[in-house]
Amino acid sequence: MKERSWFQLEASEVMAILASDGEKGLSGKEAERRLAEVGPNQLQQAKRILPLKILLGQFQDFMVLVLIGATLISGMLGEYADAITILAIVILNAILGFIQEFRAEKSLEALKKLAAPAATVIRDGQQRTVPAKDLVPGDLLCLETGDRVPADARLTEAVNLEVEEATLTGESHPVKKKTEPLDGEKVALGDRKNMVYMGTVITRGRGKAVVTATGMRTEMGQIAGMIEQVEEEETPLQKRLAQLGKLLVVFCLLICALVVVTGVLRGEAIYQMFLAGVSLAVAAIPEGLPAIVTVALAIGVQKMIRRNAIVRKLPAVETLGCATVICSDKTGTLTQNEMTARQIFCDGLKVQVTGQGYDPRGEFEANGKKIGRGNKTMKLLLKCCALCNNAGLKKDGTPLSGLFRQKNGKASSWEISGDPTEGALLVLAAKGGIWREQVEREERRIGEIPFDSERKRMSVIYRQDDGVSTIYTKGAPDVILNLCQSVLVEGKALSLTNELKEKVLKENESMARQALRVLGIAYRQLSGDERLEEADNLEHNLVFLGLVGMIDPPRPSALKAIQVCKQAGIKTVMITGDHQITARAVAEELGLPVGAGQVITGVELDAMDDEEFASRVKDISVYARVSPKHKLRIVKALKQRGEVVAMTGDGVNDAPAVKEADIGVAMGKTGTDVTKEASAMILADDNFATIVAAVEEGRAIYDNIRKFIRYLLSCNVGEVLTMFLAALFALPLPLLPIQILWVNLVTDGLPAMALGVDNADPDIMQRKPRHPKESVFSRGLWRKIGSRGLQIGLGTLLVFVLANYLSDGNLTLARTMAFATLVFSQLFHVFDCKSERYSLFQVGVFSNPYLVLAVCCSITMELAVIYLPWLQPIFKTTPLNGYHWYLILMVAGWRTFFTAFIHYLVKPIGRKLIYLKA
């Protein structure tokens, strides 16, 4: 069917265009014909990649191929343990990569689950239930409370119909529907009051609608198409490590070739130099780097799970750590997704209501003072809120008595059943000590006038045991005021003058400007001769009690989280389908900037071309009344400006933007399956503050990756320089091939891995985000690696030359001392790598017990090959005495000893002198 603006047309015109009957619907034969023409009402799935192809793809990475080559070399040298270790690393990384990639493309499968499995339609004049996949354009749907809408449709009948569209539009409360056509060609999705869409839920009333779109032509189908069009990109970490791997391999192979050529040119045996060169290549190429990166990220994932963040892809935490912008949905992410009464106006007082969500604990405050439960007007208003209400309040899913709930209530376990607005009123009454269950022990409901979109009010009639009946009414403030003749002030009914009415209307406007949803509350005692059958006639001469203002409030933790993001140089952007007034009010409460040009709507966004939007996107903090396409455009515009974008969301409408973002974060509790599958990380507690924890963890992991890159490469540079300089100065080989491999095993294993899980620097969340294109060697890392590698190499060679000279050419002793110097130089250096900004003694020697344990294990292994008689012949070593160790430790650890001297002696003395001088 050709796309049309169905919402602009009369329902009868839509029926005529779709050739459907408003009473009988389609015939069975016509439905079959159309089904064959347009296809089933289900979301299509792209052709899946074969699992075997995904698995084989894991072995095409450049570093993986190098590791396989290193495995073969190690096997040729007879170092089978090293070969097995390298092979295990390759297989482990391949399996992890396969699992991540295999699970990453389930978005459409999850999206299909949101489609209704069955639908009620009228065909051949009879109501029947058919599979939702068999719906066709022109089918006449019957919609009831609780139904999931099976296709996009134009309403032909709506009786008190309200639809929950949060998963599609981000609207925080149910939308009231109507059948009248709408004016204008460009009407936002959330404002199309005469349309219903696939995947949304009927929360109240009933209606009929003619199907206008099915399958991939629905709004949800278009979202599915956008998800398919989003291309996967490598994370910044993956890009940096890919560049690093190629650079390291080329550099190491060139240096090793120079060592071999230099040795051969000065007369060394070709076979001996070949073995030395190959051994040095195996040691110099940091084959442990991919494994340590994986382990560091995996441990980071475990930490995040303990902090309620579930990471679906290992690099996700690191990517979020370098995020410069977080685009967050409002409803359920920055707000609690729980309508809450915040203000009351009664007795001439503006009363503030405290408390969080549906937890029935809170206080009433006016002019800075608490209001007790003795206020008669307030008490009667709260009673009306409790009784003129069909919602239910539950704890852990079970309705309990009021007294028991007050005693044991916990914020995390309270929930409501029914309409969110009525639930908010029920909670408000409970905060004042009024529970419907308790009131109904003395009064019973004998009548109800349900809410109607035309009447804009609801009333209930209760009768007390003594026979006195009372009508309680709530609704739109202006409507309620027009039905009132008096107002209750300090327990007395006074005439509702124009002056008083004007005052109430001004308070109503004031609340509305704060984005509060306002209801008027009134009541009247009925006389004995009034007939309950004539219910509509009872709503007159009411006594006005006051106003109640409600809102979906921000999460308390979100305010703090946004402040931390500001401190960390991260911009928070709120994207919502709600109205601009609501979005602005919530943003102000959260501390987001809402000045001129910083809050725009989807309509304003549509009016901008890409160039104008690109120039303004950096200044905009709040987007209101937006559609899924808008969200995707926002994320793309930010990425084009070089930002690393995180997108948090819960609804179907968020999925394309979540997948497009550098890091997609889904809500675990309120999030739809499609958003979770499209995301890289899921927040189990739906708490925006958890994102801050993820940022901190991501920054810490990246710092740790830099730490062990610094450590591994410094050590490898030291090893290569030791051999290269010895060859250059025509010295005997200071290290044998087997010793080089042992150094690689002792120092590149446990210590490097323990360094990868080190604690974060104390100021990690006071730094600006690193540039997304920043090299992993930025901020002087190359200089630190080169200078320390040179020190390690020169120190090892110095000890070798001295030992060889003093021992009259005892090469075994000289090589043993050089061997020990190289190992201990690296083990001292691993502690220096704990922080790039603070000294070892500032961060604490024992702050990482795993590192201390790893170094102790390495020392034990090194001492074993020096002193155990059965290992000495294998490694060509000899026992060392105290003088030997004094020289080794002084050369290997002089920097650490000097740092300790400065920290523990010089600085305290300096501080003391300054204090005495002052």
Nearest alpha-carbon partner for 820 in 750, 763, 878, 870:
878
What are the φ and ψ backbone dihedral angles of 493, each rounded to 5 degrees? Answer: -85, 115
Whole-number Å distance between alpha carbons of 556 and 333: 11
- 60 Cβ neighbours under 8 A, 6+ residues apart: none
- 274 Cβ neighbours under 8 A, 6+ residues apart: 260
- 441 Cβ neighbours under 8 A, 6+ residues apart: none
Whole-number Å distance between alpha carbons of 820 and 739: 10
- CB–CB of 744/713 below 8 Å? no
Distances (CA, A) of 225 to 45, 48, 630: 9, 15, 15
Residue position matching structure tokens 């792209």: 46
Whole-number Å distance between alpha carbons of 435 and 747: 68
- CB–CB of 743/819 below 8 Å? yes
- CB–CB of 319/240 below 8 Å? no
β-pairing, 457-464 vs 443-452, is antiparallel
Residue position matching structure tokens 């190289």: 822
- CB–CB of 554/589 below 8 Å? yes
The two three-digit tokens of residue 658, written as one number: 């979540």
CB atoms within 10 A of CB 296: 26
Distances (CA, A) of 94 to 48, 61, 98, 587: 19, 10, 6, 45
Selecting among 329, 419, 662, 832, the annotated active-site residue is 329
Residue position matching structure tokens 């000097």: 898
Residue position matching structure tokens 């007879």: 78
The two three-digit tokens of residue 34, written as one number: 């159309």
**Residue 334 one-letter amino acid:** L
| SS3 label, residue 395 | strand
Whole-number Å distance between alpha carbons of 97 and 54: 9
Distances (CA, A) of 418 to 34, 146, 300, 426, 713: 38, 11, 41, 11, 62
Nearest alpha-carbon partner for 368 in 380, 381, 382, 350:
350
CB atoms within 10 A of CB 843: 18
Whole-number Å distance between alpha carbons of 826 and 520: 75
- CB–CB of 690/307 below 8 Å? yes
The two three-digit tokens of residue 533, written as one number: 């059958």
- Which residues are registered as beta bridge partners of 119? 130
Query: Would you call 329 a catalytic residue per the annotation?
Result: yes
Length of the chain: 918
Whole-number Å distance between alpha carbons of 113 and 106: 11
**Residue 569 one-letter amino acid:** G
- Which residues are registered as beta bridge partners of 130? 119
Mind giving me the DSSP string for 439-491? HTTTEEEEEEEEEETTTTEEEEEEEETTS-EEEEEEE-HHHHHHTEEEEEETT
Whole-number Å distance between alpha carbons of 182 and 188: 11
Whole-number Å distance between alpha carbons of 296 and 602: 41
Radius of gyration of the chain (CA): 36
Three-class SS of 225-261 = HHHHHCCCCCCHHHHHHHHHHHHHHHHHHHHHHHHHH
- CB–CB of 190/165 below 8 Å? yes
Q: Which residues are part of the catalytic machinery?
A: 329
